[in-house]
Amino acid sequence: MLRIKVLPGENIERALKRYKRKVRNVKQMDEVRERKHYTKKSLLRREINKKAKYRQLYLNKQENEL
């Protein structure tokens, strides 16, 4: 659970901004969305491989342009 201390005299908007940044940095919402539905390990591996292939093609393309 994330906790944000609101300092005396601090604007609540500023505290909310710090909270949102913390949530984004620890990827809390990504985990919540992922846990909504069960994903088979084979599908998870397939997705990881797909992203890795795309990333490799992108990097190779960038390298060839230089």
**5-49 residue pLDDT tens:** 898 999 999 999 999 999 899 988 888 998 999 999 999 999 999
Measured between alpha carbons, how far is residue 42 from residues 33, 35, 53 in Å? 19, 16, 16
pLDDT value of position 37: 93
Rounded Cα–Cα distance for residues 66 and 55 (Å): 17
Judge if pTM exceeds 0.75: no
12: which 2 tokens? 């609540």
